């Protein structure tokens, strides 16, 4: 998913959680009161988009439900500016960050110099995740993943793949694919997922790993052919499309995700309360439905399990980036 989509989704997900979960933040009777003042949720959205809500206006409306929730947009530098904001904020449990694959997995290896490190944060829980899908032009003779691999081997370094930009998951997933299959292809980066998809429809590029929710309309319209999804299981939206494992490429579960992070020195008891509150909200049927409507899978994993995911993602993307000798500095 391109950065703008990530940012917009982070805003929407944060507001859903704030609206549904504000009443649960105080915790059980007799527990230490928290929060007693406004809670800030930092997101990193590059710019407003007419299809998504204005986060500041929505946050004002949410504030009437209880202790104010302030959605703080910190745009720029691939999520670095917003992530720095949490590092520099007081570690008192009143400032939280919505991080993602880029800010808390890719950036650590892609940037030679980075102003923050994994030890600066505590992963609290995941909010939402979503798979990618490998697509080709619907008129392409390539019908399966095996067909694509065969074509890439037949024409090494001549076929191309589109991406939403250098260092995006659409780029790195394709890199991982060529690394795992022992093939090579030309990377053609675009300024966003839409022009990248347009290039594929126009026959200018050969294949692309795109976010499923972004590619789904074109798949349904018969303009793109889905070869495989990068999730562990098949997806309800495209039940006939195999997973990468079913298509013959093992160890290729790739997902985008959004999750909540706290400052490393934030009070552990407050972090535990936040995780418990968010998990309850994410398990609410209405909230889960709204997250699925966004095209994702609701989160709410225990803190330790989410920390394991973040650690595994850091290694997965780090290995891919180092092998490709890629840098975003």
* pLDDT at residue 239 is higher than 80: yes
Beta-carbon contacts of 61 under 8 Å, excluding residues fewer than 6 positions away, are: none
The string of pLDDT tens digits covering residues 257-299 is 889 999 999 999 999 988 888 888 788 888 788 777 766 788 8
* pLDDT at residue 56 is higher than 70: no
Q: Which residue has the higher pLDDT, 233 or 44?
A: 233
Contact 279, 124 (CB under 8 A): no
pLDDT of the residue at 17: 53
Q: Omega of the bond prior to 35 within 30 degrees of 0, cis?
A: yes
Burial class (CB in 10 A: 0-12, 13-18, 19+), 233: exposed
pLDDT of the residue at 15: 54
Between CA 94 and CA 91 the distance in angstroms is 8
Tokens, residue 124: 């609290």
Average pLDDT across the chain, whole number: 84
pLDDT of the residue at 142: 98
* pLDDT at residue 304 is higher than 80: yes
Q: Mark out the alpha helices in 115-242 (DSSP H runs).
A: 145-154, 169-181, 193-201, 212-220
Coil, strand or helix: which one is 259? strand
Residue keyed to tokens 């909230």: 287
Domains and CATH numbers, the chain: 3-129+255-324 (3.40.190.150), 131-229 (3.40.190.10)
Question: Can you tell me the mean pLDDT for 4-27?
Answer: 51
Where are the extended beta strands (E) located within the chain? Answer: 39-43, 69-73, 95-100, 121-137, 160-163, 186-189, 207-211, 224-229, 255-263, 297-298
- Confidence band of 89 (pLDDT split at 50, 70, 90): very high
């Amino acid at each position: 998913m391109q950065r703008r989509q990530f940012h917009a989704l982070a805003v929407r997900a944060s507001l859903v959680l704030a609206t549904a979960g504000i009443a649960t933040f105080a915790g059980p009777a007799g527990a230490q009161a928290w929060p007693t003042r406004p809670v800030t949720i930092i997101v990193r959205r590059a710019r407003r988009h007419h299809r998504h809500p204005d986060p500041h206006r929505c946050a004002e409306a949410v504030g009437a439900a209880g202790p104010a929730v302030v959605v703080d947009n910190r745009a720029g530098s691939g999520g670095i500016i917003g992530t720095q904001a949490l590092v520099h904020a007081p570690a008192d449990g009143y400032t939280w960050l919505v991080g993602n694959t880029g800010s808390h997995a890719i950036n650590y290896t892609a940037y030679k110099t980075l102003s923050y490190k994994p030890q600066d944060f505590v992963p609290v829980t995941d909010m939402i995740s979503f798979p990618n899908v490998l697509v080709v032009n619907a008129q392409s003779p390539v019908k399966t993943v095996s067909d694509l691999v065969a074509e890439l081997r037949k024409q090494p370094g001549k076929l191309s793949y589109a991406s939403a930009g250098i260092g995006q998951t659409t780029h790195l997933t394709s890199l991982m694919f060529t690394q795992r299959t022992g093939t090579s292809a030309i990377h053609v980066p675009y300024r966003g997922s839409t022009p990248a998809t347009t290039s594929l429809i126009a026959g200018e590029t050969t294949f692309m790993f795109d976010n499923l929710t972004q590619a789904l309309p074109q798949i349904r319209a018969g303009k793109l052919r889905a070869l495989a999804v990068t999730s562990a299981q098949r997806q309800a939206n495209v039940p006939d499309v195999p997973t990468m494992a079913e298509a013959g490429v093992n160890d290729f579960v790739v997902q985008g995700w959004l999750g909540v992070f706290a400052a490393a020195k934030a009070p552990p008891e407050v972090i535990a309360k936040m995780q418990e509150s968010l998990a309850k909200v994410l398990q609410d049927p209405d909230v889960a439905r709204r997250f699925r409507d966004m095209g994702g899978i609701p989160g709410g994993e225990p803190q330790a399990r989410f920390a394991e995911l973040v650690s595994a993602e850091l290694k997965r993307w780090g290995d891919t980036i180092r092998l490709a000798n890629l840098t975003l500095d």
